[in-house]
Amino acid sequence: MERSEIVLHGHRVSYRMAGRGPLLVLLHGIAGSSATWDEVIPRLRESHSVLAPDLLGHGESSKPEGDYSLGAYANAVRDLLEALELPRGTIVGHSLGGGVAMQLAYQYPERCERLVLVSSGGLGRELHAVLRAAALPGAGVVLPWLCVAGRHSVGRMVHSLGRLGLRAGADLEEAWRSFVSLEEPGARQAFLHTVRGLVDLGGQRVSAADRLYLTADLPTLILWGARDPLIPVRHAHEAHERIVGSRLEILPGAGHFLHRDEPARFVSALLDFVETTLPMPIDPRRLSRRLRVGPRPGTPR
């Protein structure tokens, strides 16, 4: 798909859009871009409209100084939908994008027909050490040197990533592509701001666990790779228990980037979910009712 651009609040937002039919919004992970969906977009566009933006600070979108919290990302996605006159759709989020998708569903439920969480962040404390290290005080000084050194010693850097548990294949390829993108100072600063807002040395410090009961009326699919080295698959099972009526799909041979490891199975699971569920109806009073009632008794927290 050819890229398009729009200027929002003075910042350039790059996105890809194609196809016709019900809308699927694809949100990538940290230090990634819409390119991560290249394997699945051609199949999805056959029956759906597909919107895949580069989040601010990522890809070919602007990388301003500013707010890189989940709330700010969710606001930016809402503004993009509004500017493109796309009222609502199924929101699909991978890794960081999963956290953004959950925040969007919480802040702007009228924009969300369904929610799809793909190896999502924000569902538990555990996180691979390579991302926790970005929360270290000196990471901003060390990272530029690592990017340059890694670019000039590809074999050594790939070997190092492999020793950190990233398997040859999609996990390693995507990790390398993300790492190379951080050579750009603006992307590097956005990465550090995002990580430090969500992660500390112990792992993920921002969790949606206490608010997952609010998704009870929102059709939700949880997709995960059984061999995910970055975020443990246990988070998928725990979220499935918390989200009433959710659907859980574990791809046995896939890692963190399951949409690239097993694109055919990913597309099949996503389309089956969309075709066999009804969009959440718009109800302005739903949130107030859910907040008053709270989580069901016995729901894990």
Domain regions of the chain by residue span? 3-125+207-293, 129-200
Q: Has residue 40 got a pLDDT over 80?
A: yes
CA dihedral 211, 22, 258, 52 (to 10 degrees): -90
Catalytic pick among 14, 34, 61, 95: 95
Which pLDDT score is estimated for 79?
A: 98
Q: Has residue 301 got a pLDDT over 60?
A: no
CB neighbour list of residue 171: distance below 8 Å, 6 or more residues apart: 229, 230, 255, 256, 257, 261
| Percent of residues in the chain assigned helix, strand, coil, to nearest 5 | 45, 15, 40
Query: Which of 1-10, 160-169, 226-235 is least confident?
Result: 160-169
CA dihedral 59, 185, 192, 61 (to 10 degrees): -20
Q: Has residue 137 got a pLDDT over 90?
A: no
What's 3-125+207-293's CATH class? alpha beta
Catalytic pick among 228, 240, 246, 259: 228
95 noted as active-site residue: yes
Which pLDDT score is estimated for 164?
A: 53
Contact 194, 140 (CB under 8 A): no
Q: What's the rounded Cα separation, in Å, for the pair 14 and 35?
A: 11
> What would the mean pLDDT of 266-283 be, rounded to a whole number?
96
More confident residue, 188 or 155: 188
Which pLDDT score is estimated for 146?
A: 45
Q: What's the rounded Cα separation, in Å, for the pair 134 and 198?
A: 11
Which pLDDT score is estimated for 2?
A: 80
Q: What's the rounded Cα separation, in Å, for the pair 100 and 73?
A: 6
Q: Has residue 197 got a pLDDT over 70?
A: yes
33 noted as active-site residue: no
Which pLDDT score is estimated for 129?
A: 81
**Single-letter residue type at 73:** Y
More confident residue, 119 or 283: 119
256 noted as active-site residue: yes
Which pLDDT score is estimated for 102?
A: 97
Output the average pLDDT for the chain. Answer: 88
Which pLDDT score is estimated for 294?
A: 86
Q: Has residue 191 got a pLDDT over 50?
A: yes
Catalytic pick among 94, 235, 256, 259: 256
Candidates 196, 77, 176, 188; CA nearest to 131 is 196
% of the chain with per-residue pLDDT over 70: 87
Which pLDDT score is estimated for 188?
A: 86
Which pLDDT score is estimated for 90?
A: 98
Q: Which of the four pLDDT bands, split at 50, 70 and 90, describes residue 171?
A: confident
Q: Has residue 73 got a pLDDT over 60?
A: yes
> What would the mean pLDDT of 77-101 be, rounded to a whole number?
97
Which pLDDT score is estimated for 299?
A: 60
Q: Has residue 142 got a pLDDT over 60?
A: no
Q: What's the rounded Cα separation, in Å, for the pair 235 and 17?
A: 31
Number of H helices, E strands in the chain: 12, 10
CB neighbour list of residue 11: distance below 8 Å, 6 or more residues apart: 56, 61, 62, 64
Query: Which of 84-98, 131-145, 233-247 is least confident?
Result: 131-145
